[in-house]
Amino acid sequence: MDCEPAISPYDLLFQALALIPVSHYFLAAFSLLLVFLYNFLEIHFFHDLLTLFRGDAVTLTYNSSSDLGRSVAAKCKILQQRYLVTPWLSSPHLQTAFLTFHGRPPPVTYRRHLFRAFDGGTIALDWLSYSDVREGASALIDGSTAHKGDKTPIVIVIPGLTSDSTATYVKHLAFNLARQGWNVVVSNHRGLGGVSLTSDCCYNAGWTEDVRKIIDHIHCEYPEAPLYAVGTSIGANILVKYLGEEGANTPVIGAAAICSPWDLLVCDRFINRRPMQKIYDRALTVGLQGYAQLHQSILSRLVNWEGVEKSSSVRDFDNHATRVLGKFETVDTYYRRSSSTNYIENVSVPLLCVSALDDPVCTSEAIPWDECRVNENIVLATTPHGGHLAFYEGITASGIWWVRVVNEFFGVLRTSPLIKRQKMQGCPVPKPLQSSIDQAPYLNVTGDGMVTAMGNEPRDALQEDTLTEHTIHGKKDEGTISDNRANFELTDKMNSDEQIKQQVEKNVKDLIVPVQVRIDKLSRRSRQSIWLLAYIAIITTWPFVGSIIVSVLKKRFKTLIPGTLFRK
């Protein structure tokens, strides 16, 4: 009997697979792709379905004995409630991408002023007020937002890396604060906001000098207005570092740090760890290279330009440019010295910190939980989801959760007894030495669309124009012009001398009054101490001194009175 040839099991398997419709294979491949993307993009849609009507709990970390946590944070209803993520943005990467590429920013009208630093650098300050929001325009115009003596609170916004006042999240924040009646000013980093670099100095993650000068200047210009500050991403790191450096000397009375990297070295390790994070690293690098290209004429002679162009990561860029400009020995030295974790313990003003545990850029591993818990001036709010600066909420993703949190926190803080108006200080820098905000900035637009600052016409030039106008229309002679010029100079000198005299008298009075009070207290205590010491001396020495006095009296009276009287 002939044996039938054995059939290979693989042949049977292939025959069986061939019987399956091709559409089923496409369906299986599509399912596998969805599973891969669900895990790769860290989508938490099914988790959101379970908590659709509840949302994510907000965890508050603060000192148990902190009045800020027990009184201010407890009154913030948004912090006590849950954060409900937009269902179709159930991923930190989807949230961050939506914020970056679309974000639905509200229309705003900034009023631009230019601030000139001591080293010649130019910083664009974009103001937004309630009247600007009410008008509803969406253009950048020049003009004054606040006036001397205005008591409307001012919020200073410090954007993130390569971000400026046009960023979506900045517009959301500025619009919502201005709509509540706050004056908002966005302090753009050097070289951003459409303004060219006008000095050899650039900003970095630990550069606090610009923020310090801006805050001092605004406090000097509007001494009656309470100052608040908000920092986002790298801007949050700069803000916290500044607050730690200044301690109680800052004029800021309340602040918020949103999605801060905290420890730059930890974040650098994190962003180079997984494939998804490397995408963010590359995107940030492209942004930094674009910033460098805008200012190639200056940066090309200060840094390793070839290395900047070939940089494949933020660390490479920092090694070839940021480290060199900041005069740091190594990149790790730059990261360590610029990290705000080193300064948290010295923060002396109420500070709200908001972070998402799934932040794809600023990892939760860098959050300084213990340091925030020790400092009584800090409240740390964390959510399981939110992405990097996104935190979109609602079905339509029309609002950003942390923007509402900051708005409410500042509102509660403003009426809290913890906030006491600080004693008004004089201008930290003599005004004539500082190129302050231009009242009507003169701009020079270059061919590439960048804007460079040109100083305002000096006061003497304006006076010359005034005199010339009088000469033309009034037909005054040269003698009259000289007299007018002399009158201008004499008036300015008298006004200057009078202001200096008043300032000196005020400073002397401010110095003498507390000294006199302390001297009076010391004198009263000294007199009391002298009488007490005299009493103690008399009591302790009376037996000895008394015997001496009695013996002396006996001898004196014995010579004056006849001796028979002393005989027995």
Please identify every residue annotated as catalytic.
233, 359, 388
Contact 162, 461 (CB under 8 A): no
**DSSP 3-state of 451:** strand
**C-alpha of 98 from chain center:** 25
Structure tokens given for 226 = 């309470």
Distance of CA 76 to the CA centre of its chain: 21
Amino acid, res. 529: S
DSSP code string of 506-525 = HHHHHHHHHHHHHHHHHHHH
Task: Name, in order, each residue with C-beta under 8 angstroms of 435's C-beta and a sequence gap of 6 or more.
Answer: 115, 116, 117, 455
Give the end-to-end CA distance of the chain in Å, rounded to a whole number: 173
Residue-wise burial string across 174-194, b where 16 or more C-beta atoms lie within 10 A, e elsewhere:
bbbbbebebbbbbbbbbbbbb
Task: State the burial class of residue 92 (Cβ atoms within 10 Å of its Cβ: 0-12, 13-18, 19+).
Answer: buried
CA distances from 356 to 167, 359, 374, 386 (A): 20, 5, 21, 5
Residues 222 and 224: their CA atoms lie apart, in Å, by 6
Helices (H) and strands (E) in the chain, counts: 22, 16
- How many Å apart are CA 402 and CA 381, to the nearest integer? 10
E strands of 53-180, at which residues?
Answer: 56-57, 59-62, 82-83, 110-116, 122-128, 140-142, 154-158
State the maximum Cα–Cα separation within the chain, in Å, rounded to a whole number: 176
- Residue 183 dihedral angles phi and psi, to the nearest 5°: -95, 125
Residues in CB range of 334: below 8 A, 6 or more apart: 204, 206, 264, 318, 322, 323, 326, 328
Q: List phi, psi (to 5°) of 128.
A: -145, 130
What's the CA gap between 253 and 125, in Å, rounded? 20
| Distance (Å, whole) CA 123 – CA 196 | 9
The CA distances from residue 375 to 343, 379, 421, in Å, are 11, 9, 21
Which one-letter amino acid corresponds to residue 18? Answer: A
Q: How far is it, in rounded angstroms, from Cα 260 to Cα 238?
A: 9
**For 207-238, what is the HEC assignment?**
CCHHHHHHHHHHHHHCCCCCEEEEEECHHHHH
Q: Is 124 helix (H, G, I), strand (E, B) or coil?
A: strand
Q: How far apart are CA 456 and CA 437, in angstroms?
A: 10
